Chains A and B, each alone.
Chain A
Amino acid sequence: MTKKQRSHGKLHRRVAGLLALGFALMTLGLLYGAFAPQPQVAQAQGDPAQLRKGEQIYNNTCISCHGANLEGVTDRGPSLIGAGEASVYFQTATGRMPATKQEAQISRKPPKLTPEEIDALIAFVDSKGGGVKLPEESGKDLVGDNPARGGELFRLNCASCHNFTGRGGALSSGKYAPALDGVSEKEMYAAMVSGPQNMPKFSDRQLSPEEKKDIIAYVKSVTDGNNNPGGNALGGLGPQSEGLIAFIVGMAALVGITLWIGAKA
């Protein structure tokens, strides 16, 4: 073999080696792309303009209690990393957030943020760690078709705090379970999956979406003056208030009529 032939063979081998390596790398890359699991970490998604708007709203309204990086501020507000769509939607759409002061329980009030602002804020918070999603549907689509079963589930899971017709009730140290009148279907669903304040969470594996919708159907059928044949629920507390009113008002009316008859006779 001459020297020239040797160098030619060397070049040939090098080119072939490079080609083989490139092919192998490409195959590996393709295979990885095909089989690698989707990343588990949350990533910023969606419209960058939306995220910027959300960040601006966050910096204007939330940052003093939840921190510059959503990490939370001790004794002011919890971390929002992983809070999720459902939680942000519930807290802002019911006006609980932005809160006006620190107290035992943040109450419902007219929302401060517009729906567009809420959407932007949801996108921003969701980009920082994901969390529990909102349902796809809203409004009437979240009302199940079996309110009777929803009633069973409501009495087992919800009624101990919210009362059996959603009138609410007291908890410890000034906290309370709110009445469910005027709460939209989507807010109720978001509350169940996100567990706002001291309410426990009800994951979709614990109460399936269908069961949640049945519960919403039941709540909708007994709140906002529905299924209230007497015209006045008298607090919806059961026999105590009804008995008291029947006794005081009924007895007073009977005594009054008797006196009137006696006076006329």
Chain B
Amino acid sequence: MSSTNPTDLPSDDELAQMSREDLVKLGGKLDGVEIVEYPDPWPVKGTRAEKRAERAVALWFLIAAISGFAFVGVFLFWPSAYTAPDTEGYFAYSLFTPLLGATLGLSVLAIGAGALLYTKKFIPHEVAVQQRSDGGSSELDKKTILAHLADAGDRSTIARRSLIKSSAGLGMTAMGLGVGVFALGGLVRDPWAQTDTKNSLWHTGWMNEPGNNEKVFLRRATGHAHEVVLVKPEDLDAGSMETVFPFRESEREDHHALSAALKRSDNPVMLIRLRSEDGRKVVKHQGQEDFNYGDYYAYTKICSHLGCPTSLYEQRTNRILCPCHQSQFDALQYAKPIFGPATRKLAQLPIAVDEETGYLYARSDFIEPIGPAFWERKS
């Protein structure tokens, strides 16, 4: 807080007469600052050193300009379309991203360097003394400011306008509620809504809509979203694993449905073909004894812990690993968890071979919910 005596202030006439230098000094004085020294960095004008400093600053800005233009040029004209390694033009292509970074980065850096150099070489390094008051505000200041605030509150008459007070409280509470619902509402799902559709937490994309008795076949992803390749039992060697997705004959021409089936989060199923000697050791879950087809077992790929894809299948140890939290499931024991944080088995999909076409199909949806737990889930 400035403690300038008002009598030191110039009158209007004096103010009109003051030079710029005087005004600068006056401004400093009003803030309690006294400029001791204000040396000109180049007291002798036009020396070679001054010119050199000027050129150095200009050089940095010039570099910034050149690399800025270079960035635009690279962005527009450099070959940026993907080129495979070992083909012609790969080297040029591989420089595209580094060149973008280098040119724009150099441009930013050069502007910074130029500005710094200019400040260092040409802005006078003043020596100034500023008065600084120690401790907190004075008692006078504290008292007056508190009185001011209390007076403002009093004059607003809010203390006796209870209608405004309560309506404002109600409005703000409702608005806060709205913000809370906005932030959290999307995370809350009613597990009892639509329990008989595939969009509920209880079912997956392997479920047919009620009244639709189509067979749901096991489909292989080939890298082409609209290509339909179904799986036959002889397709997998013993000790194999493959990710399969549901397919219905009615969707064969429906490109949207075909690519959606590959992306739906509860669809991926691991189809595992055990070695015959391992197949003899399998322990099946009660009530799911006929869910496999020979040595073929189909388990959901969605981890029962937090829903990561558990697709690390070790064909010698017959363990299924989840990469997120290191849960392990034993494929020879109905995919029950044997290590890590998962507590429930991976749900098993009942499969069989269609006698007409010879393709594997799902006899029904999973008989239990897949993926992470939710409150209403019994197991």
Q: For residues 18 through 67 of chain A, which have their beta carbon under 8 Å from a beta carbon of chain B? A: none
Q: For residues 203 through 254 of chain A, which have their beta carbon under 8 Å from a beta carbon of chain B? A: 203, 205-206, 211, 214, 217, 220-221, 226-227, 229-231
Residues of chain B with a CB closer than 8 A to A231's CB: 98
Distance between Cα atoms of A226 and B91 in the complex (Å): 10
> With contacts A156-B221, A171-B321, A221-B84 known, is A195 near B234, CB below 8 A?
no
Among A150, A203, A206, A264, find the residue whose CB has the most chain B CB atoms closer than 10 A: A206
Distance between Cα atoms of A203 and B271 in the complex (Å): 14
- B82 CB, min distance to chain A CBs, angstroms: 8
Interface window among B54-62, B189-197, B235-243, B369-377: B235-243
> At the interface, yes or no: A114 with Cβ under 8 Å from chain B?
no
Partner of B315, one of A149, A152, A156, A198: A198
Interface window among B37-45, B290-298, B306-314: B306-314
A153 near B328 (CB under 8 angstroms)? no
Q: For residues 138 through 160 of chain A, which have their beta carbon under 8 Å from a beta carbon of chain B? A: 143, 147, 149-150, 152-153, 156-157, 160
A201 near B242 (CB under 8 angstroms)? no
Residues of chain B with a CB closer than 8 A to A132's CB: 237
A195 near B315 (CB under 8 angstroms)? yes
Distance between Cα atoms of A76 and B98 in the complex (Å): 51
B314 near A201 (CB under 8 angstroms)? no
Q: For residues 119 through 170 of chain A, which have their beta carbon under 8 Å from a beta carbon of chain B? A: 132, 143, 147, 149-150, 152-153, 156-157, 160-161, 169
A226 near B240 (CB under 8 angstroms)? no
* Closest chain A residue, CB of each to CB of B268: A156
> At the interface, yes or no: B285 with Cβ under 8 Å from chain A?
no
> With contacts A169-B323, A206-B220, A227-B94 known, is A195 near B237, CB below 8 A?
yes
A227 near B240 (CB under 8 angstroms)? no
* Closest chain B residue, CB of each to CB of A169: B323
Distance between Cα atoms of A160 and B240 in the complex (Å): 15
- B310 CB, min distance to chain A CBs, angstroms: 8
Distance between Cα atoms of A201 and B274 in the complex (Å): 11
B236 near A203 (CB under 8 angstroms)? yes
A198 near B314 (CB under 8 angstroms)? yes
> At the interface, yes or no: B97 with Cβ under 8 Å from chain A?
yes
Partner of A217, one of B84, B222, B243, B323: B84
> At the interface, yes or no: A11 with Cβ under 8 Å from chain B?
no
B236 near A206 (CB under 8 angstroms)? yes
Size band of the A side of the interface? 35 or more
> At the interface, yes or no: B317 with Cβ under 8 Å from chain A?
yes
> With contacts A172-B319, A231-B98 known, is A160 near B223, CB below 8 A?
no
- B154 CB, min distance to chain A CBs, angstroms: 50
> At the interface, yes or no: A255 with Cβ under 8 Å from chain B?
no
> At the interface, yes or no: B20 with Cβ under 8 Å from chain A?
no
A195 near B314 (CB under 8 angstroms)? no
> At the interface, yes or no: A68 with Cβ under 8 Å from chain B?
no
Residues of chain B with a CB closer than 8 A to A217's CB: 84
Distance between Cα atoms of A172 and B313 in the complex (Å): 10
> At the interface, yes or no: A256 with Cβ under 8 Å from chain B?
no
A198 near B236 (CB under 8 angstroms)? no
> At the interface, yes or no: B378 with Cβ under 8 Å from chain A?
no
Residues of chain A with a CB closer than 8 A to B325's CB: none
- A158 CB, min distance to chain B CBs, angstroms: 10
A157 near B243 (CB under 8 angstroms)? yes
Distance between Cα atoms of A198 and B316 in the complex (Å): 5
Distance between Cα atoms of A264 and B95 in the complex (Å): 36
Q: List 29 A-B contacts (CB under 8 A).
A: A153-B221, A156-B223, A160-B311, A171-B312, A171-B314, A171-B321, A172-B317, A172-B319, A172-B321, A195-B239, A195-B240, A197-B316, A198-B316, A198-B317, A199-B315, A200-B313, A201-B237, A201-B238, A201-B240, A202-B237, A206-B235, A206-B242, A211-B222, A220-B85, A227-B94, A229-B94, A229-B96, A230-B97, A264-B120
Given contacts A202-B237, A206-B237, 5 further A-B contacts (CB under 8 A): A153-B222, A156-B223, A172-B319, A195-B237, A229-B95
> Footprint of B on A, CB under 8 Å?
132, 143, 147, 149-150, 152-153, 156-157, 160-161, 169, 171-173, 175, 177, 195, 197-203, 205-206, 211, 214, 217, 220-221, 226-227, 229-231, 261, 264-265
> Footprint of A on B, CB under 8 Å?
84-86, 94-98, 116, 120, 220-224, 232, 234-243, 309, 311-317, 319, 321, 323, 328, 339
